[in-house]
Amino acid sequence: MNRPTKILEAAQTHGRVLVDELAEQLRVSPHTIRRDINALCEQGKLRRLHGGAEFIEGGSNLPYSTR
């Protein structure tokens, strides 16, 4: 399982994830986690928060163009 998939699953399970915790768990730098989170946000799968991200349920809170 790749790192972005692990991040997405953790966010789905817990509702939100923190960069520093993910970096420690996945043994990568916080910068790497931020880059992965940003990519997942661009795909409309997560929403960025200060220090982490939260899981977006379905497409309910996405702009129409993203859906």
pLDDT classification of 66: cutoffs 50, 70, 90: very low
Do residues 37 and 53 make contact, with C-beta atoms less than 8 angstroms apart?
Answer: yes
Of residues 1, 58, 46, the one with CA closest to residue 19: 46
pLDDT at site 58: 66
- What are the structural domain ranges in the chain? 3-55
Task: Read off the pLDDT of residues 37-48 as tens digits, 9 standing for 90 and up.
Answer: 999 999 999 999
Give residue 57's pLDDT.
Answer: 82
Beta strands, E only, the chain: 16-18, 46-49, 52-55
Predicted structure pTM score:
0.82
Q: Which CATH class is domain 3-55?
A: mainly alpha
Determine how β-strand 52-55 pairs with β-strand 16-18: antiparallel
